[in-house]
Structure 1
């Protein structure tokens, strides 16, 4: 059971993500969003449970990537297509395909680098590009706003399509994005972080859709912070790797000591 439990959680996340498609077919959009949220929560749990139980395996890593591709790549693309992009059958479908493909490419890149030690972003405590679960959360932002306001403009395919493509580009980009390792509140900020987390949970219970929008805005601000922070790390690394300039030695008798010493040495006789 120690080895089975993390993979069972991954399978549950896959089922939850795919079930959002069923709710979308029935036009139960709020349930489709909740199913995707549950999939995201389960996806956060499986890796931590595996590390806690010391049950990490290559099988689990591959299963997790396949689950993410279906739950956070294919499922959101189909839900958004059925929700808004169906009004533009050709262009809307291309936007949905672009999102699903970019999610698969991101996960393939992650698998290809899973055993690579020299990863600049990872060594600095950051991720490369937006993770698949957060990409799905970003992709659903128009649905959050539509459910919160009931304004038809948020369901406009000419708005949803470009937004979906933008999220797809963010997933396969090389920008530094925050990870749990890079978020290290210090001092009094720890108490503030605990308070904000509690308020967000309360907000999810009272004002679900606006709170989800707020979480998306907070994450966007964290991406901007990560980019600035990583640029600082890169400058520090370049300064450390830069070779030190030779120290100018004091002059003795009008010449550097090193040159006088070299000239004082007898010339090398190749016949000896």
Structure 2
């Protein structure tokens, strides 16, 4: 009788996921200690690590259902609960009940966004996200906090801007607006030399003043989905990100 193979957990991709989870936890702890600049950095580090765990799993052929669930739970902490709590501790508490309502709306929308992502994985066009991805929403909220902290602008002066930004980021996560996912960018393909030069230039620009550059980039990305939606609407093209591809077997027959 063949011996049953024991089920196990792949270490490498889950190490990245745990590190991303630590980034979100670290961000909350720093916010509790009034180090909001470090709190924002913790969330951005979690973003980088979150973008790597899936790629590492695919490259090493170590994908698993456990890893997918672990990734979602980590995202909920790092990009859902952490930004909401940081924003509330930073200035939303000054708005009274409206402040915690905005923080809760953001947190609830992040949970809804992640749940919808999990159940729609098989039918959504992989080139696009359905709604603003939670890491980008977190970057909008914590990036603004990071920028204001660096510029030494009093928190009380921007309470209602933070209120609007938290609601915008939260509600945009649960819209059907398409946001480019960059998942069709092939890292294994050779590229012209000029691409490497542009990447180096981009890194140099970010280092001029990371808070301004990073927040600016995510503001543009946070608006890009609505621009794509309006352009598709104007051209009479489908605005849904439900895949219309027939190249993959599991996508055939979805659109009759």
Question: Residue 206 of structure 1 aligns to a residue in which SS?
Answer: coil
Cα distance change of structure 1 residues 56 and 183 upon mapping to structure 2, 3 Å threshold:
closer
Q: Pick from 51, 72, 87: which aligns with 1:65?
A: 72
Greater RCO structure (CA 8 Å; 6+ sep): 2
Is residue 40 of structure 1 aligned with residue 47 of structure 2? yes
Provide TM-score, normalisation by structure 2: 0.79
Cα distance change of structure 1 residues 221 and 158 upon mapping to structure 2, 3 Å threshold:
closer
Provide TM-score, normalisation by structure 1: 0.74
CA separation in 1, counterparts of 2:143 and 2:38? Answer: 15
Deviations 1:24-58 (A, max 9, x none): 11111111111111100000000000000011111
Equivalent position of 1:8 in the other structure:
15
Alignment of 1:182-201 (within 5 A): 194-201=196-203
Is residue 168 of structure 1 aligned with residue 173 of structure 2? no
Q: Pick from 32, 36, 48: which aligns with 1:25?
A: 32
Given that 2:131 and 2:176 are in contact with CA atoms closer than 8 Å, whether structure 1 keeps it comes out as yes
CA separation in 1, counterparts of 2:225 and 2:155? Answer: 27
Question: Residue 238 of structure 2 aligns to a residue in which SS?
Answer: helix
Please, which runs of 5 or more residues in structure 2 have no aligned partner?
Answer: 1-7, 245-256
Q: CA deviation at 1:162?
A: 1.6
Deviations 1:105-132 (A, max 9, x none): 0001111223x3x33xx16x21111111
Moved over 3 A (4+): 181-184, 189-197, 228-233
CA separation in 2, counterparts of 1:77 and 1:197? Answer: 32
CA separation in 2, counterparts of 1:107 and 1:56? Answer: 18
Question: Residue 156 of structure 1 aligns to a residue in which SS?
Answer: helix
How many residues in Structure 1 have an aligned counterpart in Structure 2?
227
Alignment of 1:1-272 (within 5 A): 3-114=10-121, 116=122, 118-119=123-124, 122=125, 125-152=127-154, 155-181=157-183, 194-220=196-222, 222-224=224-226, 226-227=228-229, 231=233, 234=238
Please, which runs of 5 or more residues in structure 1 have no aligned partner?
Answer: 238-272
Question: Residue 140 of structure 1 aligns to a residue in which SS?
Answer: helix
Q: CA deviation at 1:138?
A: 1.1
